[in-house]
Amino acid sequence: MRILWNPWRYEYIKRFNSGEKEIGECLFCRLKSMNDDEALIIYRGVYSFIVLNAYPYNSGHVMIAPYDHLGSLEDLPDEALLEMVKLVKLSMKIIRKAFNPDGFNIGVNIGRVAGAGVPGHVHIHVVPRWVGDTNFMGVIAEVKTLPISLQETYSILRKTLNEIQGA
């Protein structure tokens, strides 16, 4: 296997050890107190927010996280859980209008063993999918290609949100 160096991921990786315990401040707790443009926050609700994933599976991959630092869906108050589901719907609407995907993967990883990168702070992934978005690069070279920068994706999603809210 060839190595594709991506040292920017080290900042993400070094935040966590191999167990369930988080090292330092939680990613989502840090993001919620930052400026929207710096944190890539697309929308802020009463109980939760939509943020662009800085390490996306596909362009337009967003996450919905509650403001409260809770590890599982069953820990959330009903109002927060309902808002998060509504923000999944809003995310899909924004992404569909902005990028016209053929479908979506939506999921929640609870606990590190389930694949949670931030196991102490539950969040929902919304990943747009296109026919053919899995290609030979991942299979042959084990490399994922993204055709648009994070900043441009963020700008397009924020602009699209403004258009939807203005309609």
- Is the confidence at residue 116, as pLDDT, over 90? no
Give the CATH number of the domain where residue 39 resides. 3.30.428.10
Q: How many domains does the chain have?
A: 1
- Is the Cα torsion angle 11, 117, 56, 43 positive or negative in sign? negative
- Is the confidence at residue 167, as pLDDT, over 80? no
pTM equals 0.82
Write out the catalytic residue numbers: 123
- Is residue 17 one of the residues assigned to a domain? no
Name which of 116, 125, 144, 154 is nearest 65 in CA terms.
Answer: 125
Give the pLDDT confidence of 25-72 residue by residue, as tens digits. 799 999 999 999 999 999 999 999 999 999 888 999 999 999 999 999
- Is residue 37 one of the residues assigned to a domain? yes
Locus of tokens 């939506």? 106
- Is residue 161 one of the residues assigned to a domain? yes
State the Cα–Cα distance between residues 122 and 160, nearest whole angstrom.
26
